[in-house]
Structure 1
Amino acid sequence: MTCQDRRGEDSLKVDNAPERKVQVTQAEIIKALTEAIDRGIIKYGDRLSTTRELAEKYDTTQQTVAAALTVMAGMGLVQVQRGVGTKVIAGRRRQIKLGSYRSANRTVPTGTTAWKKENGNGSKEGPTTVSQMVTTEEDADTGIPVGTEVVERTRTRFDGDDAPCQHKRTLVTVAAATLIPEGWAGLPPMMSPGDVIPPDGMSIAKWLGMGVVRVVYEISTAPASGAAAAALTLPEGTPSLRIVSKGLKEDDQVAYATVTTAPLRSSVSWEIQDDEVG
């Protein structure tokens, strides 16, 4: 049974499905279909319409649709079976709870130090760029409400072979970004370009007095897009790791969130320390 059989002609259309004459791109098709799966519009076990029908629906070519489905198959979202069609083999995005831990104190090597050690001599971070913006729907998974004015800090990490391997984007609410530690002169640290280095034994959040009591991480796969795709020299829509870390206050409000985009050929690790929360 196809999605159209079960839900009618417009079953694959989601709120952001392009309604225009300009030819839809591979990345846009991947995004629309993935969001339809995440929202339950397309369910596990459904068979998608044919490439011809999808091409007509999205006003694009069958070749573009086929390429998008091939990428989605590589992401483990669909199974393309010759002569049978395309079957959805993933359900909605779900949470996997690995446990709760106390955060590492800055008396141990920082994440950047450990990262450089594991990625070869000459590994480095690109310069940090700082700007102000307003959050959009694209930032919804950061937990910062849409329409919030934030300070955006972005940088790219390169391994020892000079290959870009991580794009990091930190959004800090203006209330948190304008905090100044005692004795500091000049622009608030989070609004200044370059590295922000707190005193030994302190996290940046604690040094600035953000009121962060815990940090949570969410890891998923998502198509690389925009500045992250460009920084990593990946084609738009390439499946990538998306790691969102959020600094939460006692009232569960997000003070800052960092979105890390990395190629799927990456590993994620933590070193858990039973020390005072930083």
Structure 2
Amino acid sequence: MSANQIVAAIRKGIAAGEYAYGARLPSVRDLAEQYQVSQQTAAAAYAVLTALGFTKTAAGSGTTVTAGPSADAHLGTFSPPDLTKGTAWKPTGPAGQASDETYLVRQSTAPPAWTDWGFSEGSDVVERHRVRRVDGIPVQHKLTVLPYAIASHRPDGHEGVPPMLAPVGAPPLKPPAGMRVADWLGWDVGHTECQITAEPMDPAASEALGMPEGSPGFRVVNVTKSGDGSTLYVTVTTAPLHHRITMEILG
């Protein structure tokens, strides 16, 4: 078992209330015995939990829980404003040049974990991986996953490869200014569910950002559903914790 798997198990217990706020967790030695791992792996798990704010470690007191059961903050439901005003990612300061690159496009099958997003296990999906940079430094990893049948849609009048199946290195195909990709491709968008968490990065994001696997980061998951409730596509955006995620509400 890896340190990240131990982190996930303890986080699940904290979220469910199994580990109460202020409760003392097992020592590094006991944790290592519990999960049959080295003490180094157990200590690494506690280090990640502390970095994420779930625990604290003090001499003489061991490691204690500093978070309560999970709770959701629902910011509301909004209709999209003028799409021409949206900026996917930009430098915080006045300087800096932003760029992005699609570096991996592949057809795969949905693993069990993706059933939470509405994909049937083993169903055919398309993954598109992108990395965004500021002044050449990677700042964001974005994974887009969609059913193969949805990815094969073409805009009206388009005769070439469907845009969502375009391979790495192909000339970019973008919708007209101010139009969503979903509208351009004729997808029946009903609504989008958004979840923002701070947690260890998955291997793909860690590699794309040049950070050690399991480094803490922001994870933004958008699950877009069609009018009948089926999943059209999912985007998973990962960024290091020192960046910001912002939203502007008009009106």
| Counterpart secondary structure, 2:174 | coil
CA distance in 2, matches of 1:118, 1:252: 36
Q: 1:241 to 1:141 in 2, by over 3 A?
A: farther
Q: Which has the higher contact order (CA 8 A, sep 6+)?
A: 1
CA distance in 2, matches of 1:251, 1:73: 42
CA distance in 2, matches of 1:179, 1:31: 37
Q: Which residue of 1 aligns with 2:53?
A: 76
Segments of structure 2 that go 5 or more residues without pairing to the other structure are none
Specify the code of the residue in structure 2 equivalent to 1:173: P
Specify the code of the residue in structure 2 equivalent to 1:262: A
Asked if 1:111 is matched to 2:87, the reply is yes
Match of 2:147 among 173, 196, 201: 173
Match of 2:158 among 184, 197, 204: 184
| Counterpart secondary structure, 2:210 | coil
Q: Which residue of 2 aligns with 1:131?
A: 106
Q: Which residue of 2 aligns with 1:5?
A: none
Asked if 1:247 is matched to 2:221, the reply is no
| Counterpart secondary structure, 1:175 | helix
Q: Where does 1:1-278 land on structure 2 (aligned, <5 Å)?
A: 18=1, 25-106=2-83, 108-112=84-88, 115-116=89-90, 118=92, 120-160=95-135, 162-193=136-167, 194=170, 195-272=172-249
Query: 1:223 Cα shift?
Result: 0.6
CA distance in 2, matches of 1:196, 1:146: 30
CA distance in 2, matches of 1:189, 1:273: 31
Aligned 8 A contact 2:101 2:132 in 1: yes
Q: TM-score, normalised by structure 2?
A: 0.88
Q: 1:140 to 1:86 in 2, by over 3 A?
A: farther
Query: 1:258 Cα shift?
Result: 0.3
CA distance in 2, matches of 1:199, 1:218: 28
Q: Deviations over 1:201-241 (max 9, x none)?
A: 32010111110032232100111121111111111111110
Specify the code of the residue in structure 1 equivalent to 2:119: I
Aligned 8 A contact 1:103 1:273 in 2: no
CA distance in 2, matches of 1:231, 1:38: 29
Aligned 8 A contact 1:155 1:168 in 2: yes
Q: Indicate the structure with greater strand content.
A: 2
CA distance in 2, matches of 1:52, 1:266: 35
Aligned 8 A contact 1:214 1:248 in 2: yes
CA distance in 2, matches of 1:53, 1:204: 51
Aligned 8 A contact 1:104 1:271 in 2: no
Aligned 8 A contact 2:129 2:144 in 1: yes
Q: 1:94 to 1:173 in 2, by over 3 A?
A: farther
> Which has the higher mean CA deviation after the structures are superposed, 134-143 or 258-267?
134-143
Q: Deviations over 1:147-179 (max 9, x none)?
A: 33211111101112x211100000012221111
Specify the code of the residue in structure 1 equivalent to 2:62: G
Query: 1:117 Cα shift?
Result: 6.0
Query: 1:47 Cα shift?
Result: 2.1
Query: 1:118 Cα shift?
Result: 4.5
Aligned 8 A contact 1:243 1:259 in 2: yes
Aligned 8 A contact 1:102 1:272 in 2: no
Segments of structure 1 that go 5 or more residues without pairing to the other structure are 1-17, 19-24
Q: 1:129 to 1:104 in 2, by over 3 A?
A: farther
Q: Report the RMSD for the aligned CA atoms in angstroms.
A: 2.2
